[in-house]
């Protein structure tokens, strides 16, 4: 499908398919550099509506120019993810960024228990973010405090899980689809999933597929959006 030229002045809402092993901030910066290169400006306004961890892929909505004023409207929309959870072990950060620190016996866990556990998450609830997260505590990032060996006490967020579907059970792996409110940490859901089963669990794969009605199927890679910027004509205002 042919893409329209970039509106450098009015701004754009860009649907980006964020790749693995890059921060959301890093993805924004790569696209921002393309805008700066084309416009020859020292600065160009662009931001994203909802962080994805480096180990997560999928839909990242970016707003440029005057459209940055609309970022909050996208941040408030529900999010949808597909994820893989491994039972029988845990990590301090609840995902693959750190090594397994505890292992558990999963021989007594049944498929019925897994399905019932997923169902128990649906609804409004308090959720504690991971201590290895970007949440700020008295002006400092929680992960900086945790890595420095300091005690980290997280405050709970009020979140809503709208849907929690089990896609596949192949123990120790469980593949899921989750629709949730803003501010939800899927890593915390993975960890809590293990706790509810009197076991351990951590996240091994995470992909954001939707933000509201915006679908990752309609998103473009960073390279494709950069090329769209380079292909668009920019005429400085007189």
Query: Hey, what are 230's tokens?
Result: 């380079």
| pLDDT at res. 2 | 61
> What's the Rg (C-alpha) of the chain?
20
Q: Is the distance from CB of 27 to CB of 34 less than 8 angstroms?
A: no
Residue 32 has pLDDT above 90, yes or no: yes
Of 53, 76, 105, 231, which residue is the catalytic one? 53
Within 13 A of 199's CA, how many CA atoms are on the CB side?
23
d(C-alpha 91, C-alpha 30), whole Å: 31
Q: What is the pLDDT of residues 58-104, one digit of tens each?
A: 999 999 999 999 999 999 999 999 999 999 999 999 999 889 999 99
Is 53 an active-site residue?
yes
pLDDT grade, residue 153 (50/70/90)?
confident
Q: Where are the domains of the chain?
A: 13-76+214-231, 79-211
Q: Once rounded to an integer, what is the mean pLDDT over residues 175-182? A: 97
Q: What is the rounded CA–CA span in Å between residue 77 and residue 129? A: 19
pLDDT band, residue 141 (cuts 50/70/90) = low
pLDDT of residue 3: 73
Closest CA to 113 of 174, 26, 181: 174
Per-residue pLDDT of 184-217, as tens digits, reads: 999 999 999 999 999 999 999 999 999 999 999 9
Instruction: Decide: 125 and 161 in contact? Cβ < 8 Å.
Output: yes
User: What pairs with residue 64 in β-bridges?
Assistant: 46
Residue 136, pLDDT above cutoff 80:
no
CATH 3.40.47.10 fits 13-76+214-231, yes or no: no
Q: For 12-20, what is the mean pLDDT? A: 96
Burial bucket for residue 218 (CB in 10 Å: 0-12, 13-18, 19+):
exposed
Q: Which residues lie across from 60 on neighbouring strands?
A: 16
Tokens 């845990």 identify what position?
90
Class of domain 79-211: alpha beta
- Residue 137's pLDDT is 61
Average pLDDT, the chain: 91
- Could you check whether 13-76+214-231 and 79-211 share the same CATH topology? yes
Least Cα distance to 114 among 72, 158, 174 occurs for 174
User: Over the stretch 107-126, which tens digit does the pLDDT of each residue have?
Assistant: 999 999 999 999 999 999 99
């Amino acid at each position: 499908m042919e893409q329209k030229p970039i509106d450098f002045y009015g701004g754009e809402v860009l649907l980006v398919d964020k790749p693995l092993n890059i921060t959301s901030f890093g993805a924004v910066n790569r696209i921002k550099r393309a805008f700066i290169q084309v416009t020859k400006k020292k600065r160009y306004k662009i931001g994203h509506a909802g962080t994805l961890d480096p180990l997560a892929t999928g839909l990242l909505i970016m707003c440029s120019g005057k459209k940055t004023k609309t970022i909050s409207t996208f941040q408030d929309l529900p999010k949808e993810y597909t994820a893989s959870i491994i039972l029988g072990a845990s990590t301090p950060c609840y995902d693959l960024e750190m090594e397994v620190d505890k292992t558990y016996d999963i021989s007594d866990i049944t498929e019925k228990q897994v399905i019932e556990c997923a169902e128990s998450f649906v609804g409004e609830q308090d959720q504690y973010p991971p201590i290895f997260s970007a949440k700020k505590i008295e002006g400092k990032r929680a992960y900086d405090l945790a890595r420095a060996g300091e005690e980290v006490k997280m405050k709970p967020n009020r979140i809503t899980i709208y849907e929690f579907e089990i896609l596949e059970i192949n123990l120790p792996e469980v593949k899921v689809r989750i629709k949730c409110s803003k501010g939800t940490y899927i890593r915390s859901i993975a960890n809590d999933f293990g706790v509810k089963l009197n076991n351990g669990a951590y996240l091994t794969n995470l992909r954001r597929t939707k933000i509201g009605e915006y679908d990752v199927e309609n998103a473009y890679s960073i390279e494709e959006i950069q090329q769209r910027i380079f292909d668009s004509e920019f005429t400085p205002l007189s």
